[in-house]
Amino acid sequence: MWFTGLSSSGKTTISRIVYETLREKGYRAELLDGDTIRHYISKDLGYSKADREENNRRIGYIAELLTRNGVIALVAAIAPYRAIRKEIRDKVGHFLEVYVNAPLFVCEQRDRKGIYVRARAGELHGVTGIDDPYEPPLSPDVECNTDRESPEVSALRVINAIEAGLHVTLQSL
């Protein structure tokens, strides 16, 4: 599961609920949060397009390893470019794209890290949605409209999609 969307759209919040629910149901799952991966695995990368793509490739590789070993990988990362998301989808195979959709003004209101305020003040550059593009999915597997639905409702929709996908996978074996 790749949760993509602007910063502060709700990716981490929803993916944590999904993660906890899956674990409670007995599924093997791991949560790969973009901020955590940046801190431990990609701290050598900046925020250029090439660095963002490399960061997402690294996350995708870890997700592929987990998936290959029967673990549901939940990735919460902005992943602003369609091409890199498609590249990872093609490599991983069992891939569900979750578009965590919230308008920019809502994300700015939720921004606990101050990213948008600093970008608007000219202190940060290359901020997705401000001066770097975000390419929303054209046909996501699940779309969560977090300005209109609670994180719990969004998480339930994602869990239903996961379980439906697992059922199809098990029947095809």
- For residue 74, the SS3 value is strand
CATH number of the domain to which 99 belongs: 3.40.50.300
- The number of domains in the chain is 1
pLDDT in tens, 11-49: 999 999 999 999 998 999 999 999 999 999 999 998 889
Q: Does the structure show a pLDDT above 70 at 167?
A: no
**Parent domain of 35:** 2-172
Residue for token pair 């990609």: 42
Considering the chain, what is the average pLDDT of its residues? Answer: 91
pLDDT in tens, 51-84: 999 999 999 999 999 999 999 999 999 999 999 9
Sign of the torsion formed by the C-alpha atoms of 45, 97, 106 and 160: negative
Q: Which residues are 132's β-sheet partners?
A: 128
**In which element (H, E) is residue 167 found?**
helix 151-172
pLDDT in tens, 40-56: 999 999 888 999 999 99
Q: How far apart are CA 53 and CA 81, in angstroms?
A: 8
pTM: 0.90
